[in-house]
Structure 1
């Protein structure tokens, strides 16, 4: 008879599954510049290895969000983790970069399941107030993963070839899927069947959800596009080693952690909407300053680090509360709401990475231009979709 998992162990397992899917992008990131030399192809084609995973995840999020409303999410979770593991191991054996791009599309789709089902599992196994706290904690962990995983990826690349990152993803996927399969009966099933009128469109039509979801997607998407291209720019046009990318990420992580730790307390003191707006207003001008510096021909790494610190401090301040507000605004449909928010983030990253890929060899300014434009869209979403004065006053008093 299967023993029930304690709440802490269940949360840890859920978090491991979601982090694994997100790390599937960033753990591989430092190895991307070396792929053309190992598998053939061009630098632009290598960037599509990242874009394909993001696009696959986008497809998987929407598909699993809908499947979860029709079938047992516990079984879907096991299948998702198992197929992610299989595609990770197969990636080690690819003969060309084109095949790797195809497998990355499938790997991203299969790895998206845990992120879709996590909110439903947490909501069903916790009280309302407790569920909100745990969902916020999960969102913070997920937000940290894109910052931490590239550092681990750089270390793995130093140990050997690009295949090590995929082998590690396969090994971790095997461990998580095996434990999940062993204890899947402990996870809560659906409390009830979804109402017939409930759908993605029901959530998308909600102005409040769109405001928080789009601002979150564009804010984080701007950072991801920049991070995805940074290794190729630093090691290529700027003529620096991959260790400079690690330094850039460490500094960014430090500021993100500071901002994220202050986020909730600032929201309680000044209001959630004000904190989200302030963080976005810090993030966007900081990206613009990077663009101005790059357009002027600046290549001083210390200046880039200083501006990148400001970018990450801005997102750290707004990121956790912004994600939580989007989930809260999804009308109680946490699985579809989470799928839409994360899909929007990764869709932004995929499109932005694909657009900048042909220009990646021209220096820092294409990445800075993309980051600035996308971050501005996040700011525009907050302004264009802001609620009426009466609703704004009511929300700020909560």
Structure 2
């Protein structure tokens, strides 16, 4: 493989990951128009989003199993083709029911990149470079929820609600052609690689990294999902205050995620994972204390939330990568389970917070604190990998 090929392959992985996220964020601005387009109600229109998320969860587990039977390149190209076809079908759907069904299929197809990406990155780079690549990928992914809706608004205003789906179809088709032409590294299962999902679910070392990763990210997303209602509904703020909070904390995450590998070289991967997890938990507890004290200043809210984003950026790349390594060469299923757990933790946190969100910041922060404290507990109670030198900080394979 030429020296430029890993960079090209990694760039294609970034495109695939971006498409997976844009499948929701790009079409968000069009959703309010769907009831008028299809003569339905708002609740049914929201299923267009829910179906994509549900399909993604199904696809994660599906691709984790298919990788043992089919070549990874073929699966990735096929998934992109299916994603493009489903997106194009969405643009020409005759009814809301068809649109919802196609969105489930599109979501399932979108899951290939999260499943295969970490394993491909592990093959492309040394361990230290791979952690940096995961951090950079996370930085790009963190920008999609902020930038994709802006593009979606522009497309909606000038080209109509179908244009977002058409753009997704065109980009996915281009990615499929490029991957088919340029290729991907062939799947390499490590010696002693473990088998199915059940074996990973009963592996306490793997579950240590998978659960702590999922709970740290899930706790943060739970808070973000509930923050607009809290800021506007109970703190007397505006959506502009929420946007400021997001900009500050996304910036904090991006900076820290790209420094994570270097910090791990100095402190050690396990110390960085525990430090980042503890920072996130401390942030949630500080928000809880501020809410119980009757605090209502959105700027203080932003500053108290910042350590949660920084903590995730600090532990996220190293923690995710070590979770993949802990899967024992079963990269695809390990990645699938970690992302699946993130989905489940976010869903659980959102469901728990929804009935009490009207009680304001203390209620939302209480749910986030419980999730983050459980993340810390998983690190303390479950066994770590037994390397003397952290793979995440080791420049050699």
TM-score by length of 2: 0.81
Shift of the alpha carbon at 1:173? 4.5
**1:184 aligned to which of 180, 187, 192:** 180
Cα gap change, 1:329/1:195 in structure 2, threshold over 3 Å: closer, same or farther? Answer: closer
TM-score by length of 1: 0.81
Q: How many residues align?
A: 388
Partner of 1:200: 197
Shift of the alpha carbon at 1:111? 0.5
> Do the aligned partners of 1:87 and 1:106 also contact (CA within 8 Å) in 2?
yes
Cα gap change, 1:180/1:92 in structure 2, threshold over 3 Å: closer, same or farther? Answer: closer
Partner of 1:374: 371
Partner of 1:41: 42
Partner Cα distance (2:173, 2:221) in 1: 27
**1:321 aligned to which of 307, 318, 321:** 318
> Do the aligned partners of 1:235 and 1:242 also contact (CA within 8 Å) in 2?
yes
Partner Cα distance (2:349, 2:339) in 1: 15
Residues 121-159 of structure 1, C-alpha deviation per residue, up to 9 Å, x if partnerless? 4455x4xxx343453244223422453122214423654
Shift of the alpha carbon at 1:302? 0.6
Partner Cα distance (2:289, 2:36) in 1: 33
Partner Cα distance (2:342, 2:139) in 1: 14
Cα gap change, 1:386/1:122 in structure 2, threshold over 3 Å: closer, same or farther? Answer: closer
Q: How does 1:105-116 map to 2 (within 5 A)?
A: 105-116=104-115
Q: Is residue 142 of structure 2 the alignment partner of residue 147 of structure 1?
A: yes
Partner Cα distance (2:369, 2:48) in 1: 23
Q: Which has the larger displacement, 25-34 or 348-357?
A: 25-34
Shift of the alpha carbon at 1:109? 1.8
Partner of 1:171: 167
**1:264 aligned to which of 261, 264, 282:** 261
> Do the aligned partners of 1:157 and 1:164 also contact (CA within 8 Å) in 2?
no
Q: Which has the larger displacement, 200-209 or 32-41?
A: 32-41
Q: Which has the larger displacement, 26-35 or 295-304?
A: 26-35
Residues 244-303 of structure 1, C-alpha deviation per residue, up to 9 Å, x if partnerless? 332211100121123223322222222211111111111012112223333444332111
Cα gap change, 1:36/1:268 in structure 2, threshold over 3 Å: closer, same or farther? Answer: farther
Shift of the alpha carbon at 1:58? 2.0
Partner Cα distance (2:280, 2:218) in 1: 12
Unaligned 5+ runs, structure 2: none
Partner Cα distance (1:122, 1:238) in 2: 43
Q: How does 1:237-248 map to 2 (within 5 A)?
A: 240-248=237-245
Q: Is residue 131 of structure 2 the alignment partner of residue 136 of structure 1?
A: yes
Residues 304-334 of structure 1, C-alpha deviation per residue, up to 9 Å, x if partnerless? 1111212111111111111111111110121
Partner of 1:58: 57
Cα gap change, 1:169/1:310 in structure 2, threshold over 3 Å: closer, same or farther? Answer: farther
Cα gap change, 1:36/1:381 in structure 2, threshold over 3 Å: closer, same or farther? Answer: farther
Partner of 2:79: 80
Partner of 1:11: 10
Unaligned 5+ runs, structure 1: none
RMSD of aligned Cα (Å): 3.9
